[in-house]
């Protein structure tokens, strides 16, 4: 039987290459491409932030979608839509434009203060309602609306409340993907008024209530037809362990029949040492010499001396508690005494900025630190480093360990979430291992994994075999995209909004 061609509206707050703060953007840039290749009619909707350059991405006005009025609480906002394609694809992206609300430097936080914008509730309610209104004006009836994280999590709520009797959305079902349960979009109870829903919807234990506040993510978890998260292990962890479930374990357990973990893929056209225009020299499994050239170039850029035989460990990360860098702080001296060099690229919390700056001052031959967001340098670190460290406290999926595999860079990870699903410890599995991992969240255990890596690195034949095992894996989106289509088909079997 021929599979049905689905109309899918993919709603996300960040999409590569237009805007990115983390993994969600990589997913939102790559999955729709694959869905399109599988023959589906997929369109993406996101805000038009000021960082999205109109000429660079050839944004065009959509005349029919100019000055659309969308109400958020008592206020009416006028939005206009610009449209472009994800580069080199036919995936259409609708950019929601609003002068005051989206035309800002930061996505969610003000870069000047580091604080979240105080009107994020208004901004993402407008995006969510705007998405539904635009579909109606276009008379484009999506069978699936795939929403992502708290920013678009109110769409499932809307379809089962305000829009439940709207025949336009009769055939529409929703899928919510949770990329990180640590960010829930929690707002004061007064924010309920902004949704256009009765304030009485917020009562103790209500679907949208979280400790007296209004949680956008919880609303999505309650009302989405299917919930996905980005790795099988994380899907289990968030249901069973309060440290991972962050207070939402109950809802997640209740919805466990509708909760699926699908490992993210990676865009193997963008993260591929054979094709990568951003690195010093291209290389491949067959022609591996270029890797050492990249290492030299990276060290030179980083102001570190090249020593043959001394491994370089790369770190590219948001600098947040989730990422486990307090483990590095705990063993900084012992780490610096080892024969290694560490190149860090990251931005985030001030305390980690301080930690890494201090490390670079104290051990200038060992540490090089770039505080900021720099995609080109991220590629150069993947290509130039020998090892890649991710000691995460929790990690829904993690992308950099998979990028590392592509570049023959061996990951050292804490076995949690997607890291546990993708990295096989070579000390435990000498013939099939692809990296190094440690289970307990403990600095000595991390150090032990690093030391195991340093010791295998000395055996260049065994090390190269390990690199090749990593490079031979297929983490491309093709497999994962097919799983999403199965999920969409499952969602379509769910009862319609009017019944839900
Ligand atoms: P998370 O979504 O939790 O930040 P992921 O590993 O899923 O973590 O995805 C992070 C993505 O963001 C990767 O593509 C990584 O390369 C990129 N990234 C993170 N920090 C930086 C940075 N400072 N500069 C460039 N890219 C970064």
289-473 adopts what CATH topology? Rossmann fold (3.40.50)
Q: Do 289-473 and 7-265+479-491 have the same topology in CATH?
A: yes
Q: What pLDDT does residue 2 have?
A: 52
For ligand 1, say whether the CB of 83 is within 6 Å of any of its atoms. Answer: no
pLDDT at 268: 87
pLDDT band (50, 70, 90) for residue 229:
very high
| Torsion, Cα of 93, 99, 105, 107 (10° steps) | -50
How close is the Cα of 349 to the center of ligand 1, in Å? 14
Which token pair is 401? 């360990």
Q: Is the CB of 136 under 6 A from ligand 1?
A: no
Distance 1 CA to ligand 1 centre (A): 40
- Per DSSP, what are the bridge partners of residue 47? 96
Residue 477: Cβ within 10 Å count:
21
Looking from the CA of residue 24, the nearest atom of ligand 1 is 2
Mean pLDDT value across residues 89-96 = 97
Lowest mean pLDDT among 1-15, 30-44, 78-92, 473-487: 1-15
Mutate to test the pocket of ligand 1, among 181, 378, 419 (most ligand atoms within 8 A of CB): 378
Closest by CA position to 78, among listed 95, 64, 99, 92: 99
Residue 3 has pLDDT above 90, yes or no: no
Nearest CA to ligand 1 atom 2: 23
* pLDDT for 500: 43
- Per-residue pLDDT of 394-415, as tens digits, reads 999 999 999 999 999 999 999 9
What separation in Å is there between the alpha carbon of 403 and the centre of ligand 1? 11
pTM above 0.95, yes or no: no
Residue nearest to ligand 1 atom 12, measured at CA: 22
At 171-195, the pLDDT tens digits run 999 999 999 999 999 999 999 999 9
Ligand 1: atom nearest CA of 390 is 6
Q: Please tell me the distance from the alpha carbon of residue 20 to that of residue 46, in angstroms, as a whole number.
A: 12
Residue nearest to atom 18 of ligand 1 (CA): 317
Instruction: State the distance from the centre of ligand 1 to the C-alpha of 113, rounded, in angstroms.
Output: 21
Lateral strand order in the sheet of 213-215: 186-187, 213-215, 209-210
| pLDDT value, residue 498 | 61
The domain spans of the chain are 7-265+479-491, 289-473
What is the mean pLDDT of the segment spanning 334-345? 98
Expressed in angstroms and rounded, the spacing between residue 194 Cα and the centre of ligand 1 is 32
From the CA of 318, how far away is ligand 1's center (Å)?
Answer: 6
- Multiple choice CATH, 7-265+479-491, 3.40.50.20, 3.40.50.2000, 2.60.40.3080, 3.30.70.120: 3.40.50.2000
Per-residue pLDDT at 377 exceeds 60: yes
Ligand 1 contact, 26 CB (< 6 A): yes
Rounded to the nearest angstrom, the gap between the alpha carbon of residue 4 and the centroid of all alpha carbons in its chain is 28
Element (H, E) at 157: helix 154-159
Is 422 touching ligand 1 by the criterion CB < 6 Å? Answer: no
- pLDDT tens digits for range 196-227: 999 999 999 999 999 999 999 999 999 999 99
Residue 180 alpha carbon, nearest atom of ligand 1: 3
Q: What is the share, in percent, of the chain residues with pLDDT greater than 90?
A: 96
Q: Is the CB of 266 under 6 A from ligand 1?
A: no
């Amino acid at each position: 039987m021929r599979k049905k061609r689905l109309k899918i509206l993919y709603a996300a707050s960040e999409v590569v290459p237009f805007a990115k703060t983390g993994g969600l953007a990589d997913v939102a840039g790559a999955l729709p491409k694959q869905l399109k290749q599988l023959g589906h009619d997929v369109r993406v909707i996101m805000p038009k932030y000021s960082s999205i350059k109109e000429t660079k991405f050839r944004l065009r006005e959509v005349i029919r979608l100019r000055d659309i009025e969308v109400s958020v609480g008592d206020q009416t906002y006028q939005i206009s839509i610009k449209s472009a394609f994800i580069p080199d694809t036919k995936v259409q992206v609708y950019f929601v434009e609003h002068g005051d609300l989206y035309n800002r430097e930061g996505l969610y936080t003000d870069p000047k203060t580091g604080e979240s914008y105080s009107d994020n509730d208004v901004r993402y309610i407008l995006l969510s309602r705007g998405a539904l209104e635009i579909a109606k004006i276009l008379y484009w009836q999506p069978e699936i609306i795939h929403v992502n994280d708290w920013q678009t999590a109110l769409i499932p709520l809307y379809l089962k409340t305000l829009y439940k009797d709207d025949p336009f959305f009769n055939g529409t079902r929703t899928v919510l993907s949770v990329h990180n349960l640590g960010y829930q979009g929690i707002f004061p109870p007064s924010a309920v008024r902004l949704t256009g829903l009765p304030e009485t919807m917020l009562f103790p234990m209500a679907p949208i209530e979280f400790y007296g506040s209004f949680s956008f993510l919880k609303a999505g978890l309650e009302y989405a037809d299917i919930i996905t998260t980005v790795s099988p292990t994380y899907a289990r962890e968030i249901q069973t362990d309060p440290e991972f479930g962050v207070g939402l374990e109950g809802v997640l357990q209740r919805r466990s029949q509708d909760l699926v973990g699908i490992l993210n893929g990676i865009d193997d056209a963008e993260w591929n040492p054979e094709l990568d225009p951003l690195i010093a020299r291209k290389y491949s499994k067959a022609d591996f010499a270029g890797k050492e050239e990249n290492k030299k170039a990276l060290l030179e850029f980083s102001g570190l001396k090249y020593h043959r035989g001394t491994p370089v460990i790369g770190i590219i990360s948001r600098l947040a508690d989730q990422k486990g860098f307090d483990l590095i702080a705990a063993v900084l001296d012992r780490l610096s005494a080892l024969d290694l060099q560490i190149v860090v690229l990251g931005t985030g919390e001030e305390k980690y900025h301080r930690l890494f700056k201090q490390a670079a001052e104290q051990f200038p031959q060992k540490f090089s630190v770039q505080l900021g967001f720099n995609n080109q340098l991220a590629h150069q670190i993947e290509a130039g480093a020998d090892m890649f460290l991710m000691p995460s406290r929790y990690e829904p999926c993690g992308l950099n360990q998979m990028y590392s595999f592509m570049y023959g860079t061996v990951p050292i990870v804490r076995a949690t979430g997607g890291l546990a699903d993708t990295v096989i410890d070579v000390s435990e599995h000498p013939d099939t291992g692809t990296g190094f991992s440690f289970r307990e969240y403990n600095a000595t255990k991390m150090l032990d994994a690093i030391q195991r890596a340093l010791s295998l690195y000395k055996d260049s034949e065994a090390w190269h075999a390990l690199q090749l095992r990593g490079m031979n894996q297929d983490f491309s989106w093709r497999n994962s995209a097919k799983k999403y289509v199965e999920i969409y088909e499952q969602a379509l079997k769910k009862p319609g909004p009017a019944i839900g």
